[in-house]
Amino acid sequence: MDVKLENRNIWITGASFGIGLELSKALLAKNNKLVVTARSRSVLEQLQSDYPEQVTVLCCDLADEDSAGKLKADLAMSCSHLDTVILNAGICEYVDLDDLDISLVDRVTQTNYLGFVRSLYAAIPMLRNSSNLPHIVGVSSASAYVGLPRAQAYGASKAAMRHFLQSLRLDIFSEGIDVSIVYPGFVDTRLTRANDFEMPFQLTTQQAVERIIKGVEKRKKEIAFPKRLIWPLRIMSMLPAAVYTELGQKMVRQN
């Protein structure tokens, strides 16, 4: 069953740049009301001044327990209910085995995993108030499918998010709340512009957002793109570990 993303109350995290900003603009054009969250207040306020009737700004550092601790109360002040929640905020940092830095793993985990859980817990009571087919959408990553070089922090945070949502989907099913997980491949944003390696089949934010909206409206449980990157990763995740290790060596950076 298709449920159009129109005239809904939507909360989107990571709305200030990249995929989240593009998605926010697309959803505003479809007459949705948005609560937008990120740390960069000025970008969110610009969105609000462009769409004063439709945007509520809720600034928060999701990696900070104190800042995120106010989310539940702030959301309740912003709207009566939420129909769709898009948990998209995230950062990417790669591990360097010559410079083991636990604070890097902590930063990535606090933002991508615990920040996501904090957001979700704040949103669930508001989703329960919706009478409009409520929906949780989590933006994970294609890197959640299988261990990739230097992705010990980022890949693990996205795989944890995937696992959390797969479990939640079972527990929340009887309440009529759908759960979709998004697995983007490479998308041209601030996040990937920091990468110094080849990124096959990279999409623009517009191409990514088209795919996300289509999948969310179809209530797909898994929204993974582009297929030409996703299928090899899925197949790699099914290979015996010894075979995968042999093949995966080719992806390791040679210094």
Nearer to ligand NAP, 34 or 130 (CB): 34
Nearer to ligand NAP, 55 or 139 (CB): 139
Q: Does 24 bind ligand NAP (CB under 6 A)?
A: no
Nearer to ligand NAP, 154 or 172 (CB): 154
Nearer to ligand NAP, 95 or 130 (CB): 95
Rounded to a whole number of angstroms, the minimum distance from the CB of residue 217 to ligand NAP is 19
Residues in the chain: 255
83: its two tokens: 């129909």
Nearer to ligand NAP, 62 or 130 (CB): 62
Q: How many residues bind ligand NAP (CB under 6 A)?
A: 30
Q: For ligand NAP, which residue of 61, 74, 210, 217 counts as binding (CB under 6 A)?
A: 61
Site for ligand NAP in 180-199 (CB under 6 A): 184, 186-187, 189-192
Q: Does 62 bind ligand NAP (CB under 6 A)?
A: yes
Tracing tokens 């990249």 back to the chain, one arrives at: 18
Q: Stretches 1-9, 38-46, 216-224, 225-233: which one binds ligand NAP (CB under 6 A)?
A: 38-46
Q: Does 244 bind ligand NAP (CB under 6 A)?
A: no
Q: Does 18 bind ligand NAP (CB under 6 A)?
A: yes
Q: Stretches 34-42, 45-53, 71-79, 216-224: which one binds ligand NAP (CB under 6 A)?
A: 34-42
Residue-by-residue DSSP string for the chain:
----SSS-EEEEES-SSHHHHHHHHHHHHTT-EEEEE-S-HHHHHHHHHHSTTTEEE----TT-HHHHHTHHHHHHHH-S--SEEEE---------TTS--HHHHHHHIIIIIIHHHHHHHHHHHHHHT--S--EEEEE--GGGSS--TT-TTHHHHHHHHHHHHHHHHHHHGGGT-EEEEEEE--B-SHHHHT--S--TT-B-HHHHHHHHHHHHHTT-SEEEE-HHHHHHHHHHHHS-HHHHHHHHGGGSPP-
Q: Does 14 bind ligand NAP (CB under 6 A)?
A: yes
Nearer to ligand NAP, 45 or 217 (CB): 45
Q: For ligand NAP, which residue of 141, 156, 181, 209 counts as binding (CB under 6 A)?
A: 141
50: its two tokens: 């462009």
What's the rounded Cα separation, in Å, for the pair 217 and 84?
Answer: 11
Residue 59 CB: number of other CB atoms within 10 A? 16
Q: Does 209 bind ligand NAP (CB under 6 A)?
A: no
Q: Which residues bind ligand NAP (CB under 6 A)?
A: 14-20, 38-40, 60-63, 88-92, 111, 115, 139, 141, 184, 186-187, 189-192
